[in-house]
Amino acid sequence: MNNMPETPEDSPLAARLRSLSGVLTKSEAVIVQWLTLNEATLGLETGASIAAKTGVSEITVSRFLKRAGFKGLQGLKEDLQAALVHTHISPSERYFRLLDGEIGAILKRDADAVLALAHEVDKPVWPIAIDAIAAADEVFVMGFQTIRGIAEDFTRRLSIVRGSVRFLSPHDGGLVEWIPSFRRADEARCLVMVDMAPYAREALPIVQTAIRLGMTVVVVTDELNTWAAQETPLVFHVTTKVDAFLESTGAMTTMLNVIIHAVAGKFPDKARKRIKDWPPIMRDLGLY
């Protein structure tokens, strides 16, 4: 017996786009996917913003919309509005109605947690932290237990926009990487510690060790952390309590993404060159 719930009926836009699925190029398939998932907020988009968010050219977006029977993006918006006239519900209102219930409440609280990051990036110490991460000769990243995966992802993504970034696990190497070097004695080093409750007991002594060795320490942590600010002023808090079964890591991931963006913005030419130089290195691996 099949107990799977019925698939919700496609919106007129989704149905129209899906009817083209058999003849789509790879770029067009990406556009269809994005338009379908973001129908509620298309009124806020431009051809350039859709191109940027889908990774295709603006002309590709324009050509696809015309092939799909729309008079450009404005024509698509007008068709969407006309389809909603009989219900007297705007796309944004319909979007928020979909958020009713327990899951919707969690999503709203998670969204509020992301928006609250504006307070953190407005702190006077924010530019100091970004400068420290951007200018350091070497950056170390740590995160423990359930938060380790997020810290490792941050390490890899930060490595795309600047060099000499390493994730460290004290259990693996015992911090041998921090032995003072005569050859590199004058280099600036920075530690980014990512931690949230239940806090790893190693975090505090590691931060203290890094400071003793002359490193700048940046801590990204949850709203209940009280120990970090006693060790370094470069502490940024994120909300993780959104009444979900477990703490949410959504805002923390966003904060780390914002840090990467800000670091790349300090030396944009160097970041762009790294991104340009990366594909040839990977080409022979045949991964993409």
Q: Which pair of tokens denotes residue 53?
A: 């968010």
All structural domains of the chain with their residue ranges: 12-97, 115-283
Can you give the pLDDT at residue 83?
A: 64
**pLDDT confidence of residue 179:** 86
Averaged pLDDT score across all residues of the chain: 86
Query: Do the domains 115-283 and 12-97 match in fold?
Result: no
Q: How many Å separate Cα 24 from the centre of its chain?
A: 29
| H or E stretch covering 63 | helix 58-67
Q: Look up the CATH number of domain 115-283.
A: 3.40.50.10490
Most confident region among 12-16, 194-198, 253-257, 278-282 by mean pLDDT: 253-257
pLDDT-wise least confident of 149-153, 197-201, 232-236: 197-201
* DSSP per position, 233-246: S-EEEE---SSSSS
Segment among 150-159, 178-187, 224-233 with least mean pLDDT: 178-187
> What's at 2, amino acid-wise?
N
Residue 50 has pLDDT above 80, yes or no: yes
Mean per-residue pLDDT, 264-278: 93
Residue 11: exposed, middle, or buried by beta-carbon count in 10 A (0-12, 13-18, 19+)?
A: middle
* Residue 261 host element (H or E): helix 250-266
Q: 148-162, 180-194, 212-226: which has the minimum mean pLDDT?
A: 180-194
Torsion angle, CA of 140/192/187/134, rounded to 10 degrees? Answer: 110
Q: What single DSSP character describes residue 283?
A: H
pLDDT of residue 196 exceeding 90, the answer is no
How far apart CA 258 and CA 264 sit, in angstroms, is 10
Residue 67 has pLDDT above 90, yes or no: no
Average pLDDT, integer, range 95-120: 81
pLDDT tier at 273, thresholds 50, 70, 90? very high
pLDDT (average), residues 217-234: 92
C-alpha–C-alpha distance, residues 204 and 212, integer Å: 12
141 bridge partner residues = 167, 192
54, 34 contact by CB (below 8 A): yes
Q: Where are the alpha helices (DSSP H) in 141-190?
A: 148-161, 170-173
Least confident interval from 47-51, 103-107, 167-171: 103-107
Mean pLDDT of 174-183: 85
Position 236 pLDDT exceeds 80 = yes
Overall residue count recorded for the chain in this entry: 288
- Range 73-82 average pLDDT: 80
CATH code of the domain made up of 12-97:
1.10.10.10
Instruction: Say how far apart CA 152 and CA 131 lie, in whole Å.
Output: 21
Question: Quick check: 105 and 96 in contact, CB under 8 A?
Answer: no
Buried b (16+ CB within 10 A) or exposed e, 65-102: beebebeebeebbebbeeebeeeeeebeeeeeeeeeee
d(CA 118, CA 15): 38
